[in-house]
Amino acid sequence: MQGLHMVGIHHAYGAAKILNNISLTVPAGELVCLLGPSGCGKTTLLRIAAGLEQLQAGSVTIDEVVIAEGPAQLPPEERRIGYMFQDYALFPHLSVLDNVIFGLFRRDRRTARARALVMLDQVGMVPHAEKYPHMLSGGQQQRVALARALAPEPRLVLLDEPFSDLDTNMRARVRQQTLSVLKQNNVATLMVTHDPEEAMFMADRIKVLGDQGRILQSGRPADIYYKPADEYVARLFGPMNMIDGVVEQGGLKSSFGTMALEDSTAAEGSIVRVLIRPEGMILSNGGGDGGAPVDIISAHLLGDTSVVRFKVRNGINSGAEFHMRMSGAFDPTELGQIWARVDLRHAFQYPQNQ
């Protein structure tokens, strides 16, 4: 298989165990995102792939060639890997064009220059080719760093939090451009981020790394969002609502009615916790199936969405507080009695002892 293959990677700094049996595959043309909290070992894993950190256990293969296993470890410069790190690390004393040419030292000056210009064109930076890094905005520097990483036609690109220094608007734009340039070059890309939305946007596949240095879940973005393997993964996407349901005659009873029980071994009368995303609560001014009357606590317009907090009035969850997001503004005073329902696509059941 063309692409990156890491198997059974363990890593420790002294006595501190950081990575615990990590295996992953990034096929050519795909982008895999490692998503995990600060300090969980994301950068360490990229450095091991790049050869900047000595491999301690496991193996690294690129395009079916083993580049690190046991004591046999190819030096970084022979791995044909392009990197882009958070600070871009452009050479301040070189022009934009020379920054991109720098990695093309194996080619003669004329072909190197032509290749560098092709890459600068792909990222829209040809008009800035003669400028120096300090004359560029953050987004422009990022594009130069991307062109430099891709110019030598690497077999693998490693991106470490590549957009974290950009402001919100710039980030959205640069993210889109980066993705299309990577796809155009059909290169295997391993990217790390702690931003779930960024991972969802960029990745063909996401690997969630927990703070024990273990992979907690792997899957397509929709799997991670709609079928989180455990409470930790579910909570990655932001604060969740939580209700306790009671197991009753094989169903799960709460103030929102009875929903299907996923764990068939749960005992009658026991409590099962249900996590519901803010976008999984629906408010309306009518009752109906599964609707619970609620009292609105607050509503805040954030721009295109509003965040509404409310309390359930009756039933076993009475008094429990929830929050939800809805598009547009929300004025509860116009609506009379409000009812809340749960959109089950955004509700997840986990045993309470987790």
Ligand X SMILES: Nc1ncnc2c1ncn2[C@@H]1O[C@H](COP(=O)(O)OP(=O)(O)OP(=O)(O)O)[C@@H](O)[C@H]1O
Nearer to Mg ion, 34 or 129 (CB): 34
42 counts as binding ligand X under rule CB under 6 A? yes
For residues 53 and 69, which CB has a smaller minimum distance to ligand X in the complex?
53
CA–CA separation, 122 and 261 (whole Å): 52
Q: Which two tokens stand for residue 296?
A: 């609105």
Residue 18 touches which of ligand X, Mg ion, none (Cβ within 5-8 Å per kind): ligand X
According to DSSP, the residues that pair with 73 across neighbouring strands are: 68
Neighbours of 293 (CB within 10 A): 15
Residue 43 found at the interface with Mg ion (CB under 5 A): yes
194 binding partner (options ligand X, Mg ion, none; Cβ < 5 to 8 Å by kind): ligand X
> Site residues for ligand X, window 275-314 (CB under 6 A)?
none
What is the nearest approach in angstroms of Mg ion to the Cβ of residue 187? 21
Which CB, 29 or 210, lies closer to ligand X?
210
The answer to whether the CB of 308 falls within 8 A of the CB of 296 is: yes
Per-residue mark of binding to ligand X, 231-270 (x: CB under 6 A): ----------------------------------------
The two structure tokens encoding residue 95? 């022009």
Residue 319: closest CA among 295, 300, 284, 348: 295
- CB neighbours of residue 110 within 10 Å: 8
Binding string to ligand X for residues 1 to 30, with x set by CB under 6 A, is what? ------------x----x------------
CA distances from 100 to 90, 143, 174, 182 (A): 9, 11, 18, 16
What residues line the site for ligand X (CB under 6 A)?
Answer: 13, 18, 36, 38-44, 194
What residues line the site for Mg ion (CB under 5 A)?
Answer: 43
